[in-house]
Amino acid sequence: MSDPIDEGDCPALLIVMLTAAIEAEAADHSSLEWLEQLKTTKRAALWLFRAITNSRFRALLIDSNEWAENELEGLSFLCDIAARAAQAQERNPRKAGPGRPRRIIPATAWPSALEFCALIAGVRWRATSSQWPGKRNPEAQRWCEQMWMAARGNQHGGLAARDGALTAWEHHLKAAKQYVAPHPVGAWIAHILSEATAKKQLKPRPGSFRRFYIYPRIRQVT
């Protein structure tokens, strides 16, 4: 796990981006905080809906404004927010037993930090073998772990796993496939890796120089 990351295999720019993604997720709300915020949002939306639909309070609030008096989209929006908050709570129930609750990551069109790391490994693998690595591929899992550790992420294998394996990357390698090109993130990673590979191939190796210049022979004039 301590093998260094080669610049041609994973450019420093990608490691920096992965580090930023890891730090951003670490600073994000915990699962319990997300659930509490959903609960508060539902209550606030319902409270405001009931307040606005009260005829006397509505008359006081609107104060004879004709546009506001006939505006109903805001009420529909509050109902929708309350319903969506309740649905999100149902999809992410509190863990009844002991232990740390399952991490809640809001749905997004962009990969999570773990998926971003697996995407780099997958795009790199496909560039050399013309196919996406299988989720149980030990070499691809090792690539993921190397990049994750280089970006200051917590270790998955070794002492962190019962058998020392890196099977924690199986799910992320599978999930990351949805972000390959033409998705902008996958296309961007492929472009950076291709440029790094080209740069690495052009870089001369130590001791590989040869003198090809031959001094011209001096012709004797007779």
Query: Could you read off the pLDDT of 147-162 as tens digits, one per residue?
Result: 999 999 988 755 444 5
Domain ranges of the chain: 12-25+109-201, 29-91
pLDDT at residue number 123: 95
Amino acid letter for position 66:
E
In angstroms, rounded to a whole number, what is the distance separating the alpha carbons of residues 190 and 196? 10
In angstroms, rounded to a whole number, what is the distance separating the alpha carbons of residues 190 and 175? 17
- Is pTM beyond 0.85 here? no
- Count other Cβ atoms within 10 Å, centred on residue 180: 17
pLDDT at residue number 216: 43
pLDDT at residue number 119: 96
Q: Are 138 and 173 in contact (CB under 8 A)?
A: no
Can you read off the two tokens belonging to residue 35? 């659930």
pLDDT at residue number 174: 94
Largest Cα span, the chain: 121
Q: Residue 69: how many CA atoms within 13 Å on its side-chain side?
A: 8
pLDDT at residue number 214: 39
Name residues of the chain where pLDDT drops below 70. Answer: 1-9, 68-69, 96-103, 105-107, 157-165, 201-222
Amino acid letter for position 132:
W
